[in-house]
Amino acid sequence: MTSGIKITCDEMRYIALFESISGAGVAGFNSSSYSYGFLGTNDSGVYGISTGGYGVYGASDSSYSGFFSGTVRVQGYLTKSGGGFQIDHPLDPENKYLNHSFVESPDMKNIYDGVATLDAKGERWVELPEWFEALNKDFRYQLTPIGTPGPNLYIAQKISDNRFKIAGGSAGMEVSWQVTGIRQDPWAEANVKPVEEDKAVDELGFYLAPESYGQPEEKGIAWARHPEMMQRMKEENEISVESEEPSEG
């Protein structure tokens, strides 16, 4: 296993500190399988700062662009093409994985649910956390009776003082409820993202996922943003493939 760069240090906090004013604070390249373009181990294995580009940029055409084993924190907005979780399959953990996808929304939407048992009047106040209305706005409600029909179920009182009231049921009826709200905390209000967004002029004609549209890899957004770096990676990968091919004779 080989590395493009490997730096180790026992006494400093950072293994390596790179700064850039226009490009990537850290950029690593490697064309071999199961190897590293950049490898760092310490309190902060890699620390990149950039005022005009990426603090850390990773790209791979055969494996993960980044692999994190442990808890990851993102202090800011996370943008992705898709996502989900993968775990060892609960019924066959030795041989299978179980995959689920995230639930997406054009809004910063929070989902809350529960099961309420109605009182003798067929009603129930549902109490929510004390921070509920400080965090959320634009509420939506769903009610589903469990075990028996409830055609007259309704929201008798909308959310106020961090609670709402269910009515129209029968004594002892169980009701599954769901409430959604849109975030209104200061960070969310300051970081609202448009649902539809025009591409930058230098990205027109390029794709986040060119292969999904039958386009060559050179039509990827990374090629629009970093053409020289992407060309270098492609050439190094081709050289690596050629070197791994068995020689004739």
User: Could you read off the pLDDT tens digit of each residue along the chain, which spans 249 residues?
Assistant: 444 444 454 444 544 555 555 555 555 555 555 555 555 655 666 777 777 777 777 777 677 888 888 888 888 988 889 999 999 999 999 999 999 999 999 999 999 999 999 999 999 999 999 999 999 999 999 999 999 999 999 999 999 999 999 999 999 999 999 999 999 999 999 999 999 999 999 999 999 999 999 999 999 998 998 888 788 878 877 777 676 666 665
Domain range annotation of the chain: 111-190
Query: Domain 111-190 - what CATH class?
Result: mainly beta
Prediction pTM value: 0.76
Which pLDDT tens digit goes with each residue over 103-128? 999 999 999 999 999 999 999 999 99
> Which residue's structure tokens are 């639930």?
103
Residues in the chain: 249
Which tokens hold the place of 85?
Answer: 């979780």
Which tokens hold the place of 19?
Answer: 């700064």
